Amino acid sequence: MGAILRAAAAFGASGVVVPERRSAGMTATAWKTSAGAAARVPVAQAKNLTQMLKDAQEQGYFVVSLDGGGDASLPGLKLADEPLVLVVGSEGKGLSRLVSETCDTIVSIPIAGSTESLNASMAVGISLYEIATLRE
């Protein structure tokens, strides 16, 4: 969580939303790992993440999730200039079925075949960097 907050601050994210249950929370360790970013990036809890994503879509946001088997590739992401909500699943389990079905697109980050996957915070950092670069 702390590393995700650092990436969010570094690349201009407006905030971070975490589900109320079954997610990493704002612990003392996350606060320390954020290296001060937790004081600059708003963190909100969603009682129902799927409903929060649907509400965001109704307000004009596109919901983009990260998954190794995504249907779109992160480099050159066509939605990068649009208002976005970037969703990352838990390490190992990924996204829930309902959250996955709610997303407008599922994006993968190309990695070498010898590497199985990236951890969640690294995937978020790479994705936010690419989106920020494409928006320039």
pLDDT range class, residue 120, cuts 50, 70, 90: confident
Selection from 41, 10, 9 nearest residue 26 by Cα: 41
Residue 101 above 60 pLDDT? yes
Selection from 101, 112, 110, 96 nearest residue 21 by Cα: 96
Residue with the two structure tokens 């702390």: 2
Joined tokens for residue 31: 């606060």
Joined tokens for residue 23: 């997610």
d(CA 22, CA 34): 20
pTM: 0.85
Please report the pLDDT score of residue 25 as a whole number.
63
